[in-house]
Amino acid sequence: MNGDGSAAQGGPEKHQFQAEVAELLNLMIHSVYSETDVFLRELVSNASDACDKVRYEAIARPELLAGDERLAIRIKPDEAARTLTIADNGIGMDRQELIDNLGTLARSGTKAFLKGLKDAKDGLGLIGQFGVGFYAAFMVADRIEVTSRRASSAEAWTWTSASGAGFEVSPATEAQAARVARGTEIVLHLKEDAVRYLQPYELERIVRTYSDHVLFPIELIDDKGEARQVNAASALWQRSKSEVTSEEYTQAYRSLAMAFDEPALTLHYKVEGRQSYAVLLFVPSTPPFDLTDPARKGRVKLYVRRVYITDDAELLPAYLRFVRGVVDSEDLPLNLSREMLQNNPQVRQIRNGLVGRVISELESVASKDAEAFGKIWETFGSILKEGLYEDGERRAQLLGLARFASTAGDKPRSIKEYVADLKPNQTEIYYLVGDSLDRLKSNPKLEAAKARGVEVLLLTDPVDAFWTTLPQEFEGKPLKSLSQGEVDFGLIPLVDEKKPEDATVDAEDDASVLAAAKDVLGDAVADVKASTRLTDSASCLVASAQGRDRELERLLERQNRGSGAKPILELNMKHAMVRLLATAKKEDRTQDVEDLANLLLDQARILDGEIPSDPAAFARRLNDYVVRALRAVA
């Protein structure tokens, strides 16, 4: 071999890989891809790229396609020889291009081609950067032969390599040249652990997964030499919305989402400008099977120029993980690592645009078709509400979308409807969080609100206990929990003005009763206070204004993550049982004071869905009072 790396006359030219290529090969085989299936995606992408190139160049030089106008990609497994062949009739490569494209990373066929096109719109349809993804083939092959003939060239050349041994370039044999009239043929000599890629069903599965929407036919050649197309060769999202029927949308949804229902909402649009990408998204009508997966991952598929990249690009936040579909970028590089997906500014811009569009579409449905949106909210509302906790930027929008059960009736209400029906002097939006709608409706903390006709939102999803911990407001009206801090309805008129409220006992007497109860209960409660929430019930438990809401505290305690904060016991100072406590205190009946204080605490716990801390003591006290009362009237 000559000193410049060229071969002696008649022999193959032997070359060493560029240092960066050798390093890439090691990374490609061991690190870059976690699934070896992608080697076929890369080679098909390169073949599609080559077909795109010749189609473009043939605009000015029609002779390039003369006699072979139908562009296609062919895959042929040979089980006996343990080889897999991927061939195309695209632009092809000459000797120098084989060396440059497959031996170094300093140049890239597609990159140079795109640069030459400058601002030509057609160039955006090209896939990949040839010479990078190609090396993924070494994950499954221990030897690769590439035979290529440049369009309109009389010469065909062969590139061969066994990975770390460098590569050789030589004129194609007569048989090789006969097989490649134009384009490129890649023959992979598969490793022993990669023979599954010789099975037609396995190859078809990979093509349908990764390359179904490549716009050139991908044909699988059987052992009889007969060809069968295995890809759809049509990217529905690249078509105009006016050209797509509802049946085609449904079929696309079921294929992309692996679902059997019909989409409740379809978003199909294109973005052009600084970034260009096509979007086809669906909101299902039934919950996907993986909706409650603890990983909370989205399933929107990322394509780059019609080539599938991943469904783990986190293109939508976790609270929109029920959305299914495709985003197809014209600008992103094909070989995107997970780190690039997370940090790429273009991907971030796509994410922001998608989230804003999905939410605005949901708002549009909510305003135009309340019934349709009601079904979406019923199915996915508990997931969407996660955004109230996680997405501060869009919290107001999401709160406007939310629908809540309330004391105003059986139909879910929007926060806008709530604000429109505020009572005179009402300055806050009231809510109550719990684990059961029936239990919330009978909660004694609603009593003062009911007496004044004040609507209360009833929140029963586990996430409600979390998003309500953050400051929330709507149209300047803050949200206020009825089980946390002080609540004063004094300025809001009673529904029945003719029914006067009972006169309270004197403040000194009240203070004495509260002090006595606090003394008896000790560390079981943080404090004992007179209630403004209660009108009929004797007692209830609330959290302090600075502490966690009662429902959140309970949820965290079940996971041993609660702070152990003690509740505040509120007493209805007009209730007969509390007045009995006052009398027992005045008459210095210590046992009665102790029993009554504990009974008031235990019944408040029961009304909150808890159990008394000492059920046996609770039953004994209750039984004693029942027996005493019955004997008194006997």
- Residue 36 pLDDT class (50, 70, 90 cuts): confident
What distance in Å separates the CA atoms of residue 329 and residue 340, rounded to the nearest whole number?
A: 15
At 337 the pLDDT is 65
Largest pairwise CA distance in the chain: 126
What is the rounded average pLDDT of the residues 390-414? 96
pTM for the whole thing?
0.76
| Domain 507-543+567-633 CATH assignment equals 1.20.120.790 | yes
**Of 103 and 457, the one with more pLDDT:** 457
Query: For residue 284, what are the β-bridge partners?
Result: 263
Amino acid identity of residue 92, one-letter, is: G
At 106 the pLDDT is 44
Least confident piece of the model among 16-25, 60-69, 407-416: 16-25
> Does residue 550 have a pLDDT over 90?
no
Q: Tokens representing 556?
A: 């965290």
**Of 562 and 449, the one with more pLDDT:** 449
* Inter-residue contact 401 to 362 (CB < 8 Å): yes
> Does residue 25 have a pLDDT over 60?
yes
Alpha helices in 283-409 (DSSP H): 338-343, 345-368, 370-384, 386-390, 395-401
Query: For residue 328, what are the β-bridge partners?
Result: 278, 303
Share of the chain above pLDDT 90, in %: 64
| Domain 13-229 CATH assignment equals 1.10.260.40 | no
Of the candidates 211, 18, 45, the one whose C-alpha atom is nearest the C-alpha of residue 134 is: 45
Block residue for tokens 């449905």: 365
Least confident piece of the model among 43-57, 176-190, 388-402: 43-57
What distance in Å separates the CA atoms of residue 369 and residue 383, rounded to the nearest whole number?
A: 21
Least confident piece of the model among 10-19, 174-183, 247-256, 363-372: 10-19
- Mean of pLDDT over the chain: 87
Residue range 296-308, pLDDT digits in tens: 989 899 988 888 8
At 596 the pLDDT is 95
DSSP annotation of 566 reads P
* Inter-residue contact 573 to 516 (CB < 8 Å): no
At 1 the pLDDT is 36
C-alpha separations of 535 from 313, 497, 502, 507 in Å: 54, 15, 10, 18
Of the candidates 423, 476, 483, the one whose C-alpha atom is nearest the C-alpha of residue 459 is: 483
What distance in Å separates the CA atoms of residue 90 and residue 94, rounded to the nearest whole number?
A: 13
- Residue 341 pLDDT class (50, 70, 90 cuts): confident
What is the rounded average pLDDT of the residues 590-614? 93
Q: Identify the CATH class of 385-481.
A: alpha beta
Q: Which of 163-172, 336-345, 387-396 has the highest mean pLDDT?
A: 387-396
Least confident piece of the model among 74-83, 168-177, 353-362, 543-552: 543-552
What distance in Å separates the CA atoms of residue 86 and residue 78, rounded to the nearest whole number?
A: 11
What distance in Å separates the CA atoms of residue 256 and residue 302, rounded to the nearest whole number?
A: 12
At 105 the pLDDT is 59
What distance in Å separates the CA atoms of residue 480 and residue 160, rounded to the nearest whole number?
A: 73
Look at strands 299-304 and 307-310 and give their pairing: antiparallel
At 65 the pLDDT is 94
* Inter-residue contact 446 to 534 (CB < 8 Å): no
At 127 the pLDDT is 33
What is the rounded average pLDDT of the residues 456-474? 95
At 524 the pLDDT is 93
Residue range 83-131, pLDDT digits in tens: 999 999 999 999 999 998 887 754 444 344 334 443 444 333 333 333 4
Block residue for tokens 């140049």: 107
Contacts 24+ apart (CB under 8 A), 235-243: 235/278, 235/303, 235/306, 235/328, 236/280, 237/268, 237/278, 237/279, 237/280, 237/326, 237/328, 238/278, 238/306, 238/328, 241/268, 241/269
Q: Residue 570 is inside which H or E element, if any? A: strand 568-571
Q: In 484-543, where do the E strands start and end?
A: 527-530, 539-542
DSSP annotation of 32 reads I
At 555 the pLDDT is 83
- Residue 562 pLDDT class (50, 70, 90 cuts): low
What distance in Å separates the CA atoms of residue 554 and residue 465, rounded to the nearest whole number?
A: 10
> Does residue 428 have a pLDDT over 60?
yes
What is the rounded average pLDDT of the residues 172-179? 96
Coil, strand or helix at 353: helix
CB contact set of 497 (below 8 Å; sequence gap of 6+): none
Residue range 3-15, pLDDT digits in tens: 344 443 457 888 8
> Does residue 608 have a pLDDT over 80?
yes
> Does residue 69 have a pLDDT over 90?
yes
- Residue 312 pLDDT class (50, 70, 90 cuts): confident
At 117 the pLDDT is 40
What is the rounded average pLDDT of the residues 137-149? 93
At 83 the pLDDT is 98
Give the count of beta carbons closer than 10 Å to the beta carbon of residue 529. Answer: 18
Give the count of beta carbons closer than 10 Å to the beta carbon of residue 525. Answer: 20
Amino acid identity of residue 172, one-letter, is: A
What distance in Å separates the CA atoms of residue 457 and residue 582, rounded to the nearest whole number?
A: 35
What is the rounded average pLDDT of the residues 200-219? 91
Of the candidates 549, 538, 547, 598, the one whose C-alpha atom is nearest the C-alpha of residue 572 is: 538
Query: For residue 308, what are the β-bridge partners?
Result: 303
Q: Tokens representing 54?
A: 């010749």
Least confident piece of the model among 208-212, 305-309, 428-432, 620-624: 305-309
Neighbouring C-alpha atoms within 13 Å toward the C-beta of 59? 9
Order of all β-strands in the sheet with 156-161: 13-15, 167-171, 156-161, 141-149, 183-190, 83-88, 73-78, 218-221, 227-229
**Of 156 and 208, the one with more pLDDT:** 156
Block residue for tokens 């586990």: 462
At 103 the pLDDT is 77
- Residue 510 pLDDT class (50, 70, 90 cuts): confident
In this structure, is the dihedral angle defined by the CA atoms of residues 383, 385, 387 and 389, taken in order, positive or negative?
negative
Domain chopping of the chain, boundaries: 13-229, 236-368, 385-481, 507-543+567-633
CATH for the 236-368 domain, from 3.40.50.300, 3.40.50.10190, 3.30.230.80, 3.30.70.120: 3.30.230.80
Q: Tokens representing 88?
A: 């195309």
Of the candidates 165, 161, 164, the one whose C-alpha atom is nearest the C-alpha of residue 144 is: 161
What distance in Å separates the CA atoms of residue 567 and residue 552, rounded to the nearest whole number?
A: 12
C-alpha separations of 424 from 2, 228, 491, 611 in Å: 97, 74, 8, 38
* Inter-residue contact 6 to 99 (CB < 8 Å): no
